[in-house]
C-alpha cells in the first residue's frame, strides 16, 4: 500500500512542485499566475506533439532522453519517500543513486553534443563542469553521516539527531544548505541557471535541450522535475522525525515538499542569475558546508 502511495507521489508530485514554484514566482511578481496543475497540462500537450530532430543528429539523440529518464526513475527507488523509507533498501544506496544520476547525465551531455550545434556543447560543458564540484561534496556529507549514524545508506539522514547531541541541529542545518544548493544546481534554478531565460549564451541546462521537442522534451522536463523532487525528499527525510506512523509522515512529507518549493520560488523571485564565473563560487559554498559538516562529525567522534 505505502509503496503504491510512494510511486504515485513520485510520479505526480514533481509536476505540482514545479507548479507551486511558478505560482510563488507569480505571487511575488503580483500576478495571478497559472494553475499549479499547469505543468501537467504542459506535459500532456508535449506528449501529443510531434517530434522534430536536427538533421545532424543520430540515434543517440533519440535514445538519450529515454536513458536519462529511466536512470532518474531508477535512482528514485533508493530515495526515502513519504514514509521515510525508500522503495528498495540497499546498503551504499547513495552511491547507486549518484552513479545512475551520472548515467543519465552522461547521455544528456552526449545528446547535446550530437546536435553539432554551436550552443548546446556550451551548456553540456557547463553542466559537466559544475557536477564535478557537486558530487564530492555530496559524498563527503553522506560519508560523514555514515560515521555518525552507522547506517550506510540514505537511512542515515533520519538518525542525525539521535547520534549527535547538541551538534544535531547545526549539522542538519548545514546539510540542508548543502542539499539545497545541490537542488538549485541539479534543478537548474536561479541563481545558478534561469529556466525561463531566452538567451542561449547564459543558459546551462536549457541550452542542452534546445533541439529536443515533443515526447522527448516532455520526458526531459518530467525527469528534471523528479530529480528536484528527489533532492527535496532527501531534505524532508532529514527533517521529519523517524518512527512516526504513516498517517502523520505522509502529510508531513508533502508539507516539507510544499515549503521547499515555496522557498525555491521565493529565492528565484528575490535574486538574479549569477554571472557564470560567480556560479562556481556559489557552488563551492556547498563544498565548504560539506567540509564543516565533516569537521563537526570528526570532532564529535574523535574529539574527546
Q: In angstroms, what is the minimal distance from the CB of 110 to another protein?
A: 5
Q: In angstroms, what is the minimal distance from the CB of 37 to another protein?
A: 20
The CA-based dihedral angle spanning residues 71, 73, 79, 82, taken in that order and rounded to the nearest 10 degrees: 170
Q: Of 156, 40, 138, which is closest to residue 97 (Cα–Cα)?
A: 138
What is the three-class DSSP state of 145?
A: helix
Q: In angstroms, what is the minimal distance from the CB of 139 to another protein?
A: 4
The CA-based dihedral angle spanning residues 191, 193, 197, 203, taken in that order and rounded to the nearest 10 degrees: 140
Residue 91 or 241: the one with the smaller Cβ distance to another protein is 91
Q: Of 84, 12, 87, which is closest to residue 249 (Cα–Cα)?
A: 84
- How far lies 83's CA from each of 86, 208, 240, in Å? 8, 35, 10
Residue 34 or 95: the one with the smaller Cβ distance to another protein is 95
Residue 191 C-alpha from the chain's centroid = 15
Residue 210 or 246: the one with the smaller Cβ distance to another protein is 210
Residue recorded with cell 523571485: 269
Q: In angstroms, what is the minimal distance from the CB of 268 to another protein?
A: 24
Q: In angstroms, what is the minimal distance from the CB of 125 to another protein?
A: 5
Amino acid at each position: 500500500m505505502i509503496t503504491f502511495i510512494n510511486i504515485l507521489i513520485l510520479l505526480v508530485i514533481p509536476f505540482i512542485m514545479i507548479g507551486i514554484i511558478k505560482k510563488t514566482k507569480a505571487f511575488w511578481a503580483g500576478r495571478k499566475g497559472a494553475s499549479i496543475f499547469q505543468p501537467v497540462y504542459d506535459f500532456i500537450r508535449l506528449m501529443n506533439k510531434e517530434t522534430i530532430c536536427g538533421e545532424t543528429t543520430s540515434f543517440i539523440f533519440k535514445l538519450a532522453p529515454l536513458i536519462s529518464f529511466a536512470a532518474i526513475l531508477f535512482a528514485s527507488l533508493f530515495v526515502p519517500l513519504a514514509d521515510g523509507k525508500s522503495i528498495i533498501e540497499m546498503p551504499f544506496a547513495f552511491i547507486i543513486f549518484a552513479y545512475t544520476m551520472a548515467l543519465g547525465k552522461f547521455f544528456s551531455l552526449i545528446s547535446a553534443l550530437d546536435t553539432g550545434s554551436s550552443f548546446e556543447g556550451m551548456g553540456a560543458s557547463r553542466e559537466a563542469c559544475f557536477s564535478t564540484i557537486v558530487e564530492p561534496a555530496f559524498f563527503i556529507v553522506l560519508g560523514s553521516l555514515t560515521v555518525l549514524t552507522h547506517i550506510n545508506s540514505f537511512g542515515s539522514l533520519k538518525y542525525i539527531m539521535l547520534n549527535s547531541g547538541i551538534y544535531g541541529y547545526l549539522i542538519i542545518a548545514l546539510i540542508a544548505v548543502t542539499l539545497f544548493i545541490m537542488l538549485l544546481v541539479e534543478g537548474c534554478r536561479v541563481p545558478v541557471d534561469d529556466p525561463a531565460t531566452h538567451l542561449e549564451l547564459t543558459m546551462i541546462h536549457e541550452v542542452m535541450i534546445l533541439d529536443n521537442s515533443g515526447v522527448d522534451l516532455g520526458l526531459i522536463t518530467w525527469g528534471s522535475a523528479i530529480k528536484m523532487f528527489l533532492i527535496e525528499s532527501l531534505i524532508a527525510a532529514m527533517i521529519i522525525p523517524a518512527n512516526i506512523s504513516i498517517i502523520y509522515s505522509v502529510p508531513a512529507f508533502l508539507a516539507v515538499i510544499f515549503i521547499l518549493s515555496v522557498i525555491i520560488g521565493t529565492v528565484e523571485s528575490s535574486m538574479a542569475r549569477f554571472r557564470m564565473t560567480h556560479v562556481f563560487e556559489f557552488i563551492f559554498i556547498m563544498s565548504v558546508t560539506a567540509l564543516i559538516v565533516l569537521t563537526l562529525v570528526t570532532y564529535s567522534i574523535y574529539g574527546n
